[in-house]
Structure 1
């Protein structure tokens, strides 16, 4: 496990690339946090954890195929979770999730809502690993850069478009990606396990934040920035 001022190494597992790369960009702003791998499913997450031995795994509860609970169970069976290598933070869409209790029972350190702010994400990681922010850490966390950053994935989209994404939560980024794929509110609700009313509210909030006139314009924005975000 990382000591107080060493880098915390992190693996991110989520089936949506927009979430994985959004988190990676957020964490590159912190001098003590380093993303060393990303996975799109539970099986890949397990492989990365066994090979890279990260300090922390950010693990989506619900993924196609092998989900987060399967990965956590496999790590627990190998004694990795009990040994704190890695610590595991579960990612979920809502705070009442029947899988969270199971995850905590298997040894997860906690869970984080995908609607969490940048500051909450960074704070939850440090708290799970028992480290304090270094003196040169941006106060209160930092928003992801709006242009290319050393160590971050190459971004080919228009910087002005990327700037419009900077205030979106992880879940809003996921919804934007799905809008770009043409999903209706009913399809989004089924995918995210939310009511259509809740999805409609999220879409409206997303439109305001990105300055999009309607969902068609938002879908067009999603397709334009599909590079590292999708």
Structure 2
């Protein structure tokens, strides 16, 4: 089955360009696009895409509001639509809040075409898009500025191996990369990730990254 996608951005050229590029991929199907947060929420509720590319700054309602509505509406009701935020350097401060809401990551709007395609595939597969080193540094800086003074006691429920896996997830590594580093199978890594998310009451890997930085684990 192809990855289903929606594009939400107030710039028509951006919507059209991203839609055309992604629709040309054999494993991606673009279900529609919208020009603002309100229309984006309505679109996603109607077509339930696997992934939505969501701009941050838009008229009526912005991308953070729309992401929260989409993630909240789909939680516990079948597969959750993954939200991939689109950002530029002058609005990097929104990235932290996007991850807190439950977005699966973010991508710079001027990223190369192959990086955009890869981003959609990574997010659709359930992983956080935190690989580019510059974006990882931005997340580190923003979350460190907001670090809570005391550590969440839920950390103590993690096994030593789960702590190792969380540390590598926070570095933006994929399950395959973590498995290679720890000399375990990718399925074993998936099991550890699922377990630590449950113990920490987190939605996904992106929120695990925020948690790790907030609680002084990175």
For the aligned residues, what is the CA RMSD? Answer: 2.0
Gapped runs of 5+ residues in structure 1? Answer: 1-5, 132-230
> Aligned partners of 1:65 and 1:117: how far apart in 2?
29
Is 1:116 aligned with 2:126? no
> Once the two structures are superposed, what CA deviation does each residue of 1:51-89 show, in whole Å capped at 9, x if it has no partner?
101000000011112010110111233243996521010
Tell me the CA shift for residue 97 of structure 1: 1.0
> Aligned partners of 1:7 and 1:66: how far apart in 2?
29
Q: TM-score, normalised by structure 1?
A: 0.52
**Map of 1:46 onto structure 2:** 41
Distance 1:103-1:82 versus aligned 2 partners, 3 A rule? farther
Q: Check the 8 A contact 1:81/1:107 in 2, yes or no.
A: no
The one of 105, 118, 127 aligned to 2:122? 127
> Once the two structures are superposed, what CA deviation does each residue of 1:130-165 show, in whole Å capped at 9, x if it has no partner?
18xxxxxxxxxxxxxxxxxxxxxxxxxxxxxxxxxx
> Aligned partners of 1:34 and 1:28: how far apart in 2?
6
Is 1:71 aligned with 2:66? yes
> Once the two structures are superposed, what CA deviation does each residue of 1:100-153 show, in whole Å capped at 9, x if it has no partner?
10010011000010110000000000000118xxxxxxxxxxxxxxxxxxxxxx
Distance 1:27-1:70 versus aligned 2 partners, 3 A rule? same
Large movers: runs of 4+ above 3 Å: 79-84
Tell me the CA shift for residue 28 of structure 1: 2.2
> Aligned partners of 2:65 and 2:112: how far apart in 1?
27
> Aligned partners of 1:95 and 1:130: how far apart in 2?
29
> Aligned partners of 1:63 and 1:99: how far apart in 2?
13
**Map of 1:102 onto structure 2:** 97
**Map of 2:50 onto structure 1:** 55
Q: TM-score, normalised by structure 2?
A: 0.54
> Aligned partners of 2:38 and 2:76: how far apart in 1?
16
2:89 alignment partner, SS class: coil
The one of 11, 15, 20 aligned to 1:16? 11
> Aligned partners of 1:81 and 1:89: how far apart in 2?
19
Is 1:92 aligned with 2:78? no
